[in-house]
Chain A
Amino acid sequence: MAKTAAKIVPPQPVSRVVTGTHFMLGDHACAEGAMAAGLDFFGGYPITPSTEVAEHLATRLPAVGGKYVQMEDELGSIAAIIGASVAGARSFTATSGPGFSLMMENIGLAAMMEIPIVIVDVMRASPSTGLPTMVGQADILQARWGSHGDYGVVAYCPSSPQECFELTIDAFNAADRYRVPVFILMDEVVGHMAERVVIPDADKIPHVSRKRPQTKPGVEPFLPYAPDKDLVPPMAHAGEGYKVHMTGLTHDERGYPHLTADTHNQLINRLIDKVRLNAPDIIDYEERHVDDAETVVIAYGCTARSARAAVDYARSDGLKCGLLRPKTIWPFPATRIERLINKGSVQRFIVPEVNLGQLRREIERITQLPVVGLNHAGGEMPTPKAILEVIKS
């Protein structure tokens, strides 16, 4: 005889922002950041090492009235979050390398149609299936250039569970502010480690709303792709009554296909410029002992943890050494690095990465100074000792 189905207990109402001190996985902290940021819709497909993000939201999000959909794959996931965002929802998905690759085509669509979406890519050793449970940082350039064509994106790179929480909130705000795809490039180490996470009161969570049309629906002409001075057009949501046409084809300010070289050139330059020209407001980084540093270590994500320890040891040995830790990888804080170089004390850069030199190339592009890599293809992160040896070499 079949067993009686277990009684289904409806989700208990809980608060959206779990204010307090927690001991939390990076993946869970990212999920809680999304909750605190006002996440409305999650569409995703589980993949190690990002599964804990989805798993956590599967109970947390419906409990506060949000929608959680486990999609058939990553193609469906990205399409679903784009659709939800068009309808006005704060939308999110979580994935890792192979799933991120599958999302690339529609990331371009979101960039072209200027749909705010947030994707967390918890990086594992790659390419292809690689080492599913082990760390990598090799999706840095994919995040910037993965979809075909030129477009602008924003990418954050947290080094701790606390930052997974905070930068996920920043990611949602940047996506809505600039109408671009925004990535949180976590890595397996940061995603799978637990540390103290302090979640502030709900009214202390920074919130930036989408820019919305100033005219009422039905008042013509409404130009959904006419940008303001900041190059970002106000966004009308599906179903509100505005006449909106969205397409991946090159389009004019009405959103209608306009297939000329001039329109294309103008549109794509604006997509790039709305990130490039707003970069000073977007870029975030942390510095440690850089003012008189002769050696500057540039590191991000888990690698920055070891770099911080190595720099502190080097300083205690009297070496003039500092750390620049980009929290935004894209846009890259090139101007800050150029200013450091122009001060004259820097003699070389060291760039440890769990890839074979992806961010190092960005630094080489802007300086003639030696840029030394400390690289591993993936599966383990560098130790403080390994970085210290390069500093002392």
Chain B
Amino acid sequence: MTVAKENTEIRLGGVGGQGIALAGTLLGKAAAIYDGKNAVFTQTHGPEARGGASRADVIIGEKAIAYPFVTHPDILAVLFPEAYEKFRPDLKPGGVLIVEADLVNPSAEDADAVRLPATEIAKELGSRLATNIVLLGYLVGATGVVSREAMQDAIRATVNKRHLDLDMRALDAGFELADRDTPND
């Protein structure tokens, strides 16, 4: 028996403080409010939220989403080694894997994983706090799971004005890296 999948499942994994939950919320917001799709966001609740691998899950679809949990992500982005180890086995065969280049060392079978220097780019732009936004920029730019405009709108509507300039530059940096990896002309 197979249950058809119509939705895109995205899991963001990291460690407390990397902004995983905010990134997941922003992604869900972009889809549900600004792209007019359906989206569900869930996150780790429990001891693992205070250290260890934490996760933020988003499901995006055209129709109403029934079961709210990610089981086999189509897209897995991890910013921390423990999150890679914990969540990698769930990745759908042929799914997109993005890892933080300086922190996560993917195994040989993941040779084609995207190694994204998100933390380094964020630092260069002014603060490592924008690491999650660089990641979002790349993820959205490369997969098109939500539109770039929707992502920008969601960030503008959500983040503190003090960080908005940094976050928008971080998002653009992510878009640019995605364009370099996936040239469409």
Contacts and interface: CB of A to CB of B under 8 A. Distances in A.
Contacts of A21: 32-33
Contact of B42 (A23, A192, A313, A392): A192
A309 B6 CA distance: 12
A384 B2 CA distance: 11
| Most B Cβ at <10 Å: residue of A196, A383, A388, A392 | A196
Interface size class of B (residues with CB under 8 A): 20 to 34
Contacts of B1: 385, 388-389, 392
A305 B28 contact: no
Contacts of B42: 189, 192-194
B68 A302 contact: yes
A384 B67 contact: yes
A23 B68 contact: no
Given A23-B41, A133-B45, A194-B28, A309 B33 contact: no
A23 B43 contact: no
Contacts of B46: 133-134
Contact of A195 (B3, B32, B43, B45): B32
A188 B4 CA distance: 26
Interface size class of A (residues with CB under 8 A): 20 to 34
B132 interface: no
A22 B3 contact: no
B40 A193 contact: yes
A309 B67 contact: yes
A313 B67 CA distance: 13
A327 interface: no
A300 to B, nearest CB: 14
A389 B46 CA distance: 30
A23 B29 contact: yes
Interface of B: 1, 3-4, 25, 28-29, 32-33, 38-43, 45-46, 65-68, 71
A-B pairs, 8 with minimum CB distance: A309-B66, A194-B41, A23-B29, A196-B32, A133-B46, A133-B45, A305-B66, A23-B32
